[in-house]
Structure 1
């Protein structure tokens, strides 16, 4: 019986397991305002209302729990992107502008997570992941015509994403992740994208 009960707790389809997992993810995302290395299992357990043993029943270590929580947030952005773009199509003509506004809207909805991240230049990994999801959706006309598009992960694309993350981070820090003040940020992102297409230095 003991073995069966233990397996049940770890079963991802078990309701108690799922409830605990959601509580952990929520707690970790709220704690991301601190440096990654400073988040402990004790802090997560306290914020989630769980025991430390429950944390380790779900994840091999706290760093893996943090990574999983970040990936869940990125998946939330990715899975909701099409719906958000459809809504933005009513007000924003530029396809790329819609994508950039979708990023800012998502960050505004989760400002309790992203505002501290934007204020910490050493904790930008989540912003990079968001941009990596958005990049393949951008419509880029490469110049001169016939120039092959750089592949994702190439040095040129990585430099572009790095520049975009810097622009988004400054917007988040300056406006406290307020999409109503996102116009200049989007314009800057669009110019950076045009520079990428024209092979200018970014």
Structure 2
């Protein structure tokens, strides 16, 4: 199972060393063996974490004028989505919300979703901060992203590495989707994706 420290619950003698967390009901039980239990909480609360980070911002916060735009993305109606539906999305921009520092939005960069190993693989192909990983069906109107982040042209990193990243994907229009990466209670990144 690899040496992931506290993420695993059996020691070398197959003795249970810690009770495994129960998977939240709003996550697909079929992904239970793929998602690390330490990520259950943030994935289950992705939107709540985004709203909490936004709610702490004040008119003095950097980028406060963009709060309304971010709220519209989070409030947008969601549509049925499958991993295959994401093929064709080619542009992505990052919106980072930090409860202490404000909202930082960036211009659009290139990305792609492609079939790989019988699954759909996402990669941001330009810009200094790059996420890459696989998307899985979660509910009829959401996907789970499991991957990693790297910088510039460094090799891509995978889920479960020290650069591990999780997120949820929602389709909010025929040519628009968002990925929510809930990193901590007070810090969230949103990718706005277009075709």
Q: Give TM-score, length-normalised by structure 1.
A: 0.30
From the CA coordinates, give the structure whose radius of gyration is larger.
Answer: 1
Higher strand share: 2
Q: Give TM-score, length-normalised by structure 2.
A: 0.31
